Structure 1
Amino acid sequence: MNAALPLRDVALPPSPSWWPPAPGWLMLIGALLLVLGVAAFIGQRRRRRRRRWLQLFDQELQAAPTAAAELAAIAGLLRRAARVAQPGSEALHDHAWWQRIDPKEELAEPQRQLLAEGAYRPQVAADEVAELRRWARERYLQLLQERRR
């Protein structure tokens, strides 16, 4: 070797830029966006369906002129929801019906009696119906959501 030639160090190529990412990263980002989009779409559909069910429930109860008629409407709505969730359950009576409607026995006995006999009682207190309405609204949604599982 000739001593007159200058020595040069090993030169590394410049580091690659971070943009645009490699195709694998683009596919991973695309798949993640697709999963998030599908989850958002399903969640939006569920919220819309739940809102529609609650609107139907409220419309039925607003159409009732008296508290006794409202109790009859609540019982009818619960029967319809039970039929949708499990066909044939609307024909159940007494203990079997209450096991289907209130399996955890969250409803107090006076309210059960009110719901069972409410349409036949001419005078019903509005505050009793309001408490029963809140429970029935939640249970109505639960019954309708059972059919989706």
Structure 2
Amino acid sequence: MATMPDLVLRDIHQPPAPSWWPPAVGWWWLAAALLALVCAVVGWRLFRAWQRRRWQQLFDSEVAAAPDAVGRIAAMSSLLRRAARRQRRDADRLQGDDWLSFLDNGLPGAPFTSGVGIAMRDGAFRREADALDTPALHALARMRFVALMLGRGR
């Protein structure tokens, strides 16, 4: 039997590890999906902020066009009734405490039935509204109008 010469054996050489850049196609798809999601969320928020400013400007311009405090209260009531129809079809025909309860729906502290908003019940029918806190009523009615128009009035 012939003897074999001593063979020089060497370890197995591993190929170099793959580079982290460029990533695989799946990572590109994931990044694109996340970017699209972020853009959609930011776009939606910008759109809602634009809508909110537009509704606030409409409310302010309609109320400012009224000649006196009683007219401003009537304009606020009219705008609120138009906006209320977006939430409930017959909401513009509600009267008295039912109307104020509808406006209070979802608001903490019931500002329409027990706060400054109580003037929405009969403030437009008074001869003088000077005793009422019309700036606070304006702020409350404006906030409720915008919420109803944006669909958050429930």
TM-score tier by shorter-chain length is 0.7 to 0.9
The residue identity in structure 2 corresponding to 1:142 is: A
Structure 1 match to 2:36:
34
Structure 1 match to 2:72:
70
Higher RCO (C-alpha under 8 Å, 6+ residues apart): 1
Please report the RMSD computed on the Cα atoms of aligned residues, expressed in angstroms.
2.4
Structure 1 match to 2:139:
134
Percent identical among aligned pairs is 39
* 1:125 Cα deviation after fit: 2.7
Higher mean displacement: 47-56 or 105-114: 105-114
Pair 1:2-2:18 in alignment: no
Select the residue among 58, 61, 69 that pairs with 2:60: 58
More helix by share: 1
* 1:8 Cα deviation after fit: 2.1
Higher mean displacement: 99-108 or 89-98: 99-108
* 1:22 Cα deviation after fit: 0.8
Pair 1:106-2:108 in alignment: no
Q: Which runs of 5+ in 2 are unaligned?
A: none
Aligned partners of 1:138, 1:146: CA distance in 2, in Å? 12
Cα displacement string for residues 55-94 of structure 1 (whole angstroms, at most 9, x for unaligned residues): 1011111112211111111111111111122222111112
Distance 1:127 1:18, change over 3 A: farther
Q: TM-score, normalised by structure 1?
A: 0.85
Q: TM-score, normalised by structure 2?
A: 0.82
Contact 1:84 1:147 in 2 (8 A): no
Structure 2 match to 1:97:
99
